[in-house]
Chain A
Amino acid sequence: MCLAVPVKIVSIDGDEAETEIAGVRRRVSIALTPEAKVGDYVLLHTGYAIGVIDEAEAEETLKLLEEIASLSEIY
């Protein structure tokens, strides 16, 4: 099962967190990601946060994509 959606943690209450994505709020369990903090983005899968998104890596990936794409003459 692979569908996991990036959501932002807005508040934490024990092993549950209130998260938000584009105006939609959802309560999720952070039992699998106890290190998650308010403000972190986590991957949400069937009601659980399964991992914390590494924002620095996300930036790196975008840079890499832009680099690869710009090397093509199509631009």
Chain B
Amino acid sequence: MKFIDEYQDNELARGLAYKIAQRSTKTIRLMEFCGGHTHAILRYGIRQLVPKTVEMRSGPGCPVCVTATADLDKAIALAHLPDVIITTFGDMIRVPGSYSSLQQAKAEGADVRIVYSTIDAVEIAKANPGKSVIFIGIGFETTAPTIAASILKARQDKIKNFYVLSLNKLTPPVMKALLDSGEVKLDGIIGPGHVSVIIGSHPYEFIARDYGVACVISGFEPLDILLCIDKLVEQIEKGEPKVEIAYPRGVKPEGNRKAWQLTENVFEIGEANWRGIGIVPQSGLKVRGKYEQFDADKAFSVSPKPPREPKGCRCGDVIRGAAMPLECKLFRKVCTPESPVGPCMVSSEGACAAYYQYGTLENLQGLEVDMEQADG
């Protein structure tokens, strides 16, 4: 597959891994802010390819994981309303809310359907004029334009029964929130590749300028990620943090202006409630007044019981990178993909699910870069 296979080359990966080991003299900590990166890093064994001096932590990049329990409870309550069809991306249906899940609601008779695109949700609305079709709008800047486009299409086609529950969130504000909290000291950030296709690289400039943290935007194939880490290590070793694009085939500094304009046309920025973090100002998207006929929050009113977090669940800490999945007492023992306690174990982009699926690599013999040769 073009633009995929070439970036998985074995020999080049080893060469890069070696180069990183040569460059890296001090212990540093990097964090990725994209669930796709969390998944790829574990699937391709990137942590085993980089030297021990490069510590890697997962940040709040999984849109399912950062959805606040109260918001999920609202979605579940909406599912139980009469003549409502809930449409959602697959990952959401198994996440446990305070008392139930969308999957459970489905088993209890609610009409909950998995869709692969907002286009499908609009089609379902067209095909079911007597029902209200609500799309659970999770995701970051990569997905927001697609949701905006579907609202515009619905308006164009005069569809009156399509609604979006807007839970979309923004990446740079949550990066700022984490850097401000100082809970996890970071030296570098692996920038989200496809979010950046939309917003470009300028929104991250504050990271290097105000916090002295390096930021390199990465693609998703193993060579992309290794290249990104190489550039981060180089910046950090030199003490010259800046924002760089290591995925130029996809990301332009100005991003996709058309897509973002469309998004700003339909949505306005407001606060958002992030699981494990709380309210982060200016970090969420809400449907603008002129499109309020598509806003599920305006059209429906539900009052779910107050949210409660499962006891012992450390998803919040894992989401902020303050704890590794292995440090959660429930990991593997109580919380498993079959019986997940929190969202990090449900979504395949969640750190816990990724660690569970791809194993605890620490005690496995993998490709170890020979440090003896590195000094040669």
Contacts and interface: CB of A to CB of B under 8 A. Distances in A.
B3 A72 contact: no
Contact of A1 (B6, B11, B63): B63
Contact of A45 (B19, B63, B142, B192): B142
Nearest to A31: B149
Contact of A22 (B1, B248, B250, B251): B1
Instruction: State which size class the interface on B falls in.
Output: 35 or more
Q: Is the interface of A mostly helix, strand, loop or mixed?
A: mixed
Instruction: State which size class the interface on A falls in.
Output: 35 or more
B22 A50 contact: no
Nearest to A44: B117
A62 B230 CA distance: 14
A4 interface: yes
A30 to B, nearest CB: 10
B169 to A, nearest CB: 10
Interface in A58-75: 58, 60-62, 64-66, 68-75
Q: Is the interface of B mostly helix, strand, loop or mixed?
A: helix
B2 A50 contact: no
Interface in A36-62: 41, 43, 45-48, 50-51, 53-55, 57-58, 60-62
A33 B11 contact: no
A55 B37 contact: no
Question: Which 6 pairs show the lowest CB-CB distances between chains A and B?
Answer: A69-B15, A47-B117, A2-B36, A58-B249, A6-B3, A57-B248
20 contacts: A1-B36, A2-B192, A2-B195, A6-B3, A8-B2, A31-B153, A46-B116, A48-B117, A48-B146, A50-B146, A50-B256, A51-B256, A54-B252, A61-B224, A61-B246, A61-B247, A69-B11, A69-B15, A72-B15, A73-B373
Given A50-B142, A53-B250, A74-B14, 12 more contacts: A1-B194, A2-B34, A2-B37, A2-B194, A21-B1, A45-B142, A46-B89, A50-B146, A50-B198, A54-B252, A68-B16, A72-B16
